[in-house]
A and B are shown apart, each in its own frame.
Chain A
Amino acid sequence: MFVAKHNAGWVIILSFIIALLLTAMPLPEWLVNWWPAWVVMVLVYWCMALPLRIGIGIAWLLGFLLDVQTGALLGQNALGLSVIAYFTNQRHRQIRVFPLTQQSLLICFYLILFQFYTLWIRGMTGVPPQHWSFWAPAVTSMLLWPWLFVTMRGIRRKYHVS
């Protein structure tokens, strides 16, 4: 059987780079804590759309980049993103057919898990965040997911990323 060759890898790489850039963008004070988790969202999308291509390994590498970029403990984001990638890969068939609202809720759930895990690590290393707005990215990412999803799907179809 002929297996379709992987193509347009640059689109995926570019999307991750853009997500990292958005994460690093300098922001006004009031927006900082509400900034959505771009990297997580883009990763979830690719894990769901191309589960054979994007998985735990990529998530792990991406996590390391994010760690160094944000000055976090080396491996903190790597582990968090890998766990999210694992769950998404496992359930990609289910998640794909979810309506957008349900997908958004799932993103919210993922991010609450992710933030909870971050809170745990940071609590252990002695730098716990001191404000409830630590959880805010879960809400903003949830609200932003439908737009991101539709855009990413458009891009994927346009460049025939498979």
Chain B
Amino acid sequence: MTVDHRQGHLESVRAVISTIVYPLQYMVSLPLDLSRKISESLVTRKALLEENQRLRQERLLLNSRLQRFSIFQEENRRLRALLASSVELHERVLVAELVEVELQPFRQQIIINKGQREGVYDGQPVVDSDGIMGQVIHVGPFSSTVLLITDSTHSMPVQINRNGLRSIAVGAGRNDILLLEYLSANADIKEGDLIVSSGLGRRFPKGYPVGTVSDISHIPGETFSNVTVLPSAKFDQSQEVLLVWPHTDNTQENKAAAEVVMN
């Protein structure tokens, strides 16, 4: 147990056992999967039409935003070239599905149906459509375990989108709050501020939303204020998650950096 906790030499053993366990987990999640598929195939025509219309509108909206985005991207690249700073690299993503099983109580972990075969690696960031969800902690051949950012052992470097103020978001063991640490009482932070990943620590890609500030309180006499953040990822609703390969062409380097962080 100590070896597993401190050094992680046993990852290969865990990977082997997870191949045995995965069929069981798959079997457990099968009925739910099936019932979802059946209910999907039984929706009425009207509901489908409505959904179709809604999606069309959404697409129009997103497309118009995307147009502006591409202009900004171009502009950004030009400016960066002018400043002679490094060009942002594109990221590779892969959609994974949740395997719905119960894990240890009082921990925030999930199992996804992608593993070594798809090139998932230890420490890989996982996001959903609204924000960062967590990172991969164990990789098996067919499945991997993801530690959510709300777990009480998890913390990640973040910054406030409005002014770039840096902090650390720590999980609280509940799926609806995160805590920001080491923000002094006079820090420029307001309720409703968007918190994004800062990319420091080189594990999470920069600029993904993490949450919005929901509450700030300061106890007189304390050095730091208590800042509560509402995570933007929908932990209890997302069925599909995205695995992100940040900076595709120096993955090896990233891995090495990730290992250093682990130890």
Contact = CB atoms under 8 A, between A and B. Distances in A.
Interface of A: 17, 20-21, 23-27, 32-33, 35, 64-65, 67-76, 79, 121, 125-127, 129-131, 134
A134 B173 CA distance: 14
Given A64-B17, A127-B106, A127-B107, A25 B4 contact: no
B4 A73 contact: yes
Contacts of A76: 1
Given A24-B24, A25-B102, A69-B21, 9 more contacts: A65-B21, A69-B25, A71-B104, A71-B138, A73-B1, A73-B5, A74-B13, A74-B14, A127-B173
Given A65-B17, A74-B10, A127-B153, A24 B25 contact: yes
Q: Which of B1, B14, B138, B152 has the most CB of A within 10 A?
A: B1
With most chain A CB atoms within 10 A of its CB, the pick from B17, B29, B32 is: B17
Contact of B105 (A17, A33, A79): A33
A24 B101 contact: yes
Contact of A25 (B28, B109, B111): B28
B153 A126 contact: yes
Contacts of B111: 71
Contact of B102 (A27, A73, A75, A127): A27
A68 B101 contact: no
B225 to A, nearest CB: 23
22 contacts: A17-B24, A21-B28, A24-B25, A24-B102, A25-B102, A26-B29, A26-B32, A26-B101, A65-B21, A69-B25, A70-B104, A71-B103, A71-B104, A72-B104, A73-B1, A73-B4, A73-B5, A74-B1, A74-B10, A74-B14, A75-B1, A76-B1
B1 A134 contact: no
Contacts of A79: 1
The listed residue with most A CB atoms (<10 A of its CB), out of B4, B101, B104, B152, is B104
A126 B106 CA distance: 12
Interface in B48-94: none
B193 interface: no
Given A74-B10, A126-B153, A134 B24 contact: no
B18 interface: yes
Q: Which 4 A-B pairs have the closest CB atoms?
A: A129-B106, A24-B101, A74-B4, A75-B1
B100 interface: yes
Contacts of A24: 24-25, 28, 101-102
Contacts of B138: 71
B24 A21 contact: yes
Contacts of B151: 127
Nearest to B25: A24
Interface string B5-32: 1000010011001101100110111001
B105 A127 contact: no
Nearest to B11: A74
B24 to A, nearest CB: 5
A49 to B, nearest CB: 24
Nearest to A64: B17
B145 interface: yes
Interface string B121-149: 00000000000000001100000010000
Contacts of B4: 73-75
B102 A35 contact: yes
A72 B5 CA distance: 10
Contacts of A72: 104
A71 B21 CA distance: 11
Nearest to A129: B106
A121 B1 CA distance: 9
B21 A68 contact: yes
Interface in B177-201: none
